[in-house]
């Protein structure tokens, strides 16, 4: 096994173990912080796929933005941290439904994975992905790029409006 394979298995185990903790932990804060390692593991997998821009964007947006927001939400909500977040009396029915859905999705994913003929791309030394991404965004995908920026602008204006003092 070479270094890259070992790294892959390490990151994959990290991601899976901690996403298990996210789902199964009784303490919502532990879930939130386990998400840090899960997202970090996914970012590491992106690095192994030579998608360095995607990996760092993952760190920036998911860890620096969304996870901080989730943790703030949990911390600022009073008396949420001590509560067992697992389902209560309805739990049995929900558990039953969840197991069925999980099995169906897992089975179809495995079936798809087995039945697809995978195209193995050759390993290439990729230089400067960010330059290519920038050029593509401002030429071929300009409309999508501008639409996304409009959406974000609207979100910012909306957030500022909601946060304003009522007169």
Partner 1 sequence: MESINFLYELLGKNALTITLVVILPLGFVLIYALVAILAELKTSAWIQERLGPMRTGPWGILQPVAEVIKLIQKEDITPAKADKLLYNAAPFIVFTGAYSAFAVIPFSEYFAPSRIDLGLFYIFAVGSISALGIVMGGWASNNKYSMMGAMRSVAQLISYEVPAAIAILSIVVLTSTMNLQEINKLQTGWFWNWFLFGGPGTLAKWWIVPFTIILCMIYFIAALAETNRLPFDIPEGESELVAGFHTEYSGIKFAMFFFAEYAYMFVVAAILTTVFLGGWNSPFGNLMQGPGWGVFWFIFKGFSVVMVQIWIRWTLPRFRVDQLMYLGWKILLPISFVCFLIISLYVMLK
List helix spans (H) across 25-141. Answer: 28-48, 52-58, 68-76, 91-115, 129-138
Identify which range of 9-17, 49-57, 108-116, 149-157 contacts partner 1 by CB under 8 A. Answer: 49-57
How far apart (Å, rounded) are the C-alpha atoms in residues 39 and 23?
14
CB contact at 8 A, 94 and 87: yes
How far apart (Å, rounded) are the C-alpha atoms in residues 126 and 43?
17
How far apart (Å, rounded) are the C-alpha atoms in residues 28 and 75?
10
Residue 22 engages partner 1 in binding (rule: CB under 8 A): no
Residue 127 engages partner 1 in binding (rule: CB under 8 A): yes
List Cβ neighbours of 19 (8 Å cut-off, separation of 6 or more).
34, 38
Residue 64 engages partner 1 in binding (rule: CB under 8 A): yes
Residue 21 engages partner 1 in binding (rule: CB under 8 A): no
- In this structure, the chain runs to a length of 167
Least distance from partner 1 to the Cβ atom of residue 140, Å: 20
Identify which range of 69-77, 95-103, 148-156, 157-165 contacts partner 1 by CB under 8 A. Answer: 69-77
Query: Residue 128 or 149: which CB sits closer to partner 1?
Result: 128
Residue 128 engages partner 1 in binding (rule: CB under 8 A): yes
Burial class (CB in 10 A: 0-12, 13-18, 19+), 39: buried
Q: Binding mask 86-125 vs partner 1 (x if CB under 8 A, - otherwise)?
A: ---------------------------------------x
Residue 63 engages partner 1 in binding (rule: CB under 8 A): yes
Query: Residue 9 or 111: which CB sits closer to partner 1?
Result: 9
Residue 132 engages partner 1 in binding (rule: CB under 8 A): no
Residue 30 engages partner 1 in binding (rule: CB under 8 A): yes
């Amino acid at each position: 096994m070479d270094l890259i394979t070992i790294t892959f298995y390490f990151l994959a185990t990290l991601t899976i173990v901690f996403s298990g903790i996210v789902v199964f932990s009784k303490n919502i804060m532990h879930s939130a912080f386990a998400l840090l390692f899960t997202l970090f593991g996914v970012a590491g997998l992106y690095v192994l796929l030579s998608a360095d821009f995607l990996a760092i964007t993952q760190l920036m947006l998911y860890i620096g933005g969304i996870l901080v927001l989730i943790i703030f939400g949990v911390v600022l909500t009073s008396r949420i941290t001590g509560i067992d977040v697992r389902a209560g009396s309805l739990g049995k029915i929900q558990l039953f439904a969840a197991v069925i859905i999980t099995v169906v999705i897992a089975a179809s994913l495995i079936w798809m994975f087995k039945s697809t003929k995978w195209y193995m791309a050759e390993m290439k030394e990729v230089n400067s992905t960010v330059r290519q991404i920038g050029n593509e965004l401002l030429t071929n995908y300009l409309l999508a790029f501008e639409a996304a920026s409009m959406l974000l602008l609207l979100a910012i204006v909306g957030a500022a409006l909601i946060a304003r003092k009522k007169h």
